[in-house]
Structure 1
Amino acid sequence: MSTINRTRRAAVLGTLAALALGATACGSSGGDPLGGSSSAPAAGGASASGTAAGSGGSGGSGSTVVVGSANFPENVLLGSIYSQALKAKGVKVEEKFNIGSREVLYGQLQSGNLTVLPEYNGALLAYLDAKATAVTTQDVNAALAKALPASLAVLDSSPAEDKDSLSVTQETADKYGLKSIADLTAKAGEFTIGGPPEFKSRREQQFKDVYGLTFKEWKPTGDTTANALKDGGVQVGNVFTTDPKIVQFKLVPLADPKNVFGAQNVTPLVNKAGLDATATAALNAVSAKLDTAGLTALMKRVAVDKEDPSTVAKDWLKSNGLG
């Protein structure tokens, strides 16, 4: 899992200063949206993934659920979605957004100062277990159930993922019939691929071994990869799946059926004692509706159109029957 600073995404989003987290994801050349230090706390025991929280909690029973977030725009948006979804079910909520990196947030959750946090399951697993090898959503969440301390749990993961991708323009996708990374096999030798400076050393051999791809050239494009795709400087680029420029420039993230980039599903991480069944169900309902394309469109409104995250969250919840 990479620990590259989240400044890449900050430059793309042009809003709050980001931090090394995983956003974007993890497992790749990209940063870990909730990054910070790679040292993890000791896992204190098992917890059940996707299960309702402890019986003595708050959530609709009078106590206050404290929803936190890291200090980058996407996580603030997700925190606002969680918060407003809970309020819509009558749960008392306190918001503590823009706190910091995972190591700070995780400690706050363990202590009970926070109840709910929007997490990225693959990055969280790497934080807890640097030797973890799980890449699919199901396997990552199963591993998390073993790695998390008994006081914490992950609820249902959403289909939405903030992770690395190989993306192309819509024109390139249409011209060559590209839908997945595997479809690049016939054209990779003619294509220049762009990404951060470390992308080649970390991924070149993996793409050869897993997909049989050998690209014509690897070009370090850093924060300008999406622009390089749009302008034709590269034909394939490493772009985060919730980067608003995917919408702006009509880019196409290619499917990754062999999981070169491990799962990075947006997933509620919770202190089980702080939630009841009502609150748990509200958060799981959000996960059931939230997908990558939808989150990317929301992030365009926040990062490009400069709309208030709480307003964007409210609109999404209303349109999905959750607010």
Structure 2
Amino acid sequence: MTTRLVRTLTAAALVLGAAACSSGGDPLVSGTGGGGAAGGGTVVVGSANYPENVLLASIYAQALKAKGVKVEEKFNIGSREVLYGQVQSGGLTILPEYNGALLGYLDAKNTAAGTQAVNEALRTALPASLAILDSSAAEDKDSLTVSQETADRYQLHSIADLAGKAGEFTIGGPPEFKSRREQQFKEVYGLTFKEWKPTGDTTANALKDGTVQVGNVFTTDPRIVQSKLVPLADPKNLFSVQNVTPLVHKAGVDATSTAALNAVSAKLDTAGLTALMKRVSVDKEDPAAVAKDWLKANGLA
């Protein structure tokens, strides 16, 4: 065999080998099996810095581990403004998100309503490196909430009823709530509040003790019922649907991870999430233990 022929055959073999290695396809569709990450490595599950998101992240992480996926947990990181870039860069692989809130972050002027329409708009708005998986029926919406006493005194039933009265009220919520929503309240409902206070996860307590008169309380917060708080109706749909939905860095997940997360979404509903949050927020149970109980009860452990 001549030297030239040997070189030709070797080059052909290298080309065929490279082609075979590059034919894996979309990692969300045709993953490698048991590794969980598209490259067989570790997936990193992150969370925002409030109890419900930590709980959801723990559910995701434990569901993945139950399928043999290698998982690193990075919980309590911060707000969406911090987290989104980390998922986009691949520093985080998986994040529990809320579809309407994420769409509002990416495209504030989008008017999509309903889970399907919001998810279609999200898929258009997301960069090619990111994807959303199946949305759950569980929905945790933002609300403007007041105490029963404030509702009775000012005859408040909806956010629209705050018109002409908001200037008397201090409003509380997460630190980022003002930057996200102040202009929207002005444009949609004509509201300008007297003062904005960052109350974080203590907003329900601040409403109860009168520190604030209006607060951004998530609708699955069990303290709404416990403290007899009143979420105001939102007739102009300023707050869109908020289905719990996994956001993933596509290169970091395979079919095993995708199936495990979609199985969680298929079982998670609003009533169940509210019950879990009572255990975390009111009974002060460990989110990881609560997550483990839920997964076991739903056959996902």
Structure-2-length-normalised TM-score: 0.65
Provide the C-alpha distance between the structure 1 equivalents of 2:27 and 2:42, rounded to a whole number of angstroms: 15
Shift of 1:151: 2.7
* Partner residue in 1 for 2:292: 314
**Structure 1 spans left out of the alignment, 5+ residues:** 1-50, 209-213
Does residue 133 (structure 1) correspond to residue 125 (structure 2)? The answer is no
| Cα distance per residue 1:225-278 (max 9 Å; x no partner) | 634765699997542223342243244545646522122322101123333333
Shift of 1:67: 3.5
* Partner residue in 2 for 1:94: 71
| Cα distance per residue 1:22-71 (max 9 Å; x no partner) | xxxxxxxxxxxxxxxxxxxxxxxxxxxxx991313555568245132235
Partner secondary structure for residue 219 of structure 2: coil
| Cα distance per residue 1:51-102 (max 9 Å; x no partner) | 99131355556824513223513222111100111223x2313122136344
Structure 1 residues 131, 233: closer, same or farther in 2, change over 3 A? closer
Structure 1 residues 164, 74: closer, same or farther in 2, change over 3 A? same
**Identity among equivalent pairs (%):** 65
Shift of 1:310: 0.8
Structure-1-length-normalised TM-score: 0.62
* Partner residue in 2 for 1:243: 221
Q: 2:95 aligns with which of 81, 97, 117?
A: 117
Q: Give the structure with the larger helix fraction.
A: 2
CA-atom RMSD in angstroms: 4.3
Letter in 1 for 2:135: S
Provide the C-alpha distance between the structure 2 equivalents of 1:64 and 1:260, rounded to a whole number of angstroms: 41
Deviates more, 1:285-294 or 1:138-147: 285-294
Letter in 2 for 1:249: S
Does residue 298 (structure 1) correspond to residue 273 (structure 2)? The answer is no
CA contact (8 A) 1:81 1:314 kept: yes
CA contact (8 A) 1:86 1:282 kept: yes
Provide the C-alpha distance between the structure 1 equivalents of 2:117 and 2:165, rounded to a whole number of angstroms: 36
Does residue 67 (structure 1) correspond to residue 49 (structure 2)? The answer is no
Does residue 285 (structure 1) correspond to residue 263 (structure 2)? The answer is yes
* Partner residue in 1 for 2:28: 53
Does residue 155 (structure 1) correspond to residue 118 (structure 2)? The answer is no
Q: 2:60 aligns with which of 66, 78, 82?
A: 82
Provide the C-alpha distance between the structure 2 equivalents of 1:251 and 1:320, rounded to a whole number of angstroms: 31
Provide the C-alpha distance between the structure 2 equivalents of 1:274 and 1:284, rounded to a whole number of angstroms: 16
